[in-house]
Amino acid sequence: MSQIAAEKAEAKCAPLPMQAPGSTWFAAMAGLWGSFVTLLAVSPASLDDAYDWLRGLPIVWEILMWIVTLPWTLAYLVSESSWEQWLQGVVIVLIAVIHLGISAPKSAR
């Protein structure tokens, strides 16, 4: 009888579905884009301060930070450009979609 109960217990313990590889990275990138857009709408002065801080770093650190923050820095530069506002919005959305597309989890082949 205990063997039957043990077999039933083993049958009920199905493995949990695995999280898609890279989904945590994608969630972090989407969160950073959400934070960027929120700051752009609510407090652009914060982004100005962050950009000034970035430009004030020693050259080696500035280059490294440009590499790490490239999509957001480009989006900030577009938002500060003299382009029309609708064009700025389109380009920022395009940058975000391309970056999130690159960051999206890939399915296993």
Alpha-carbon separation of residue 20 from 15, 26, 51, 96, 108 (angstroms): 15, 10, 34, 21, 9
Q: What is the mean pLDDT of the chain?
A: 87
- Residues 6 or more apart whose Cβ sits within 8 Å of residue 22: 103, 104, 105, 106
Confidence of residue 53 (pLDDT cuts 50, 70, 90): very high
Residue 22: per-residue pLDDT: 77
The structural domains of the chain, with segments of one domain joined by +, span 23-103
pLDDT surpasses 70 at 81: yes
pTM of the model: 0.75
Rounded average pLDDT over 11-21: 63
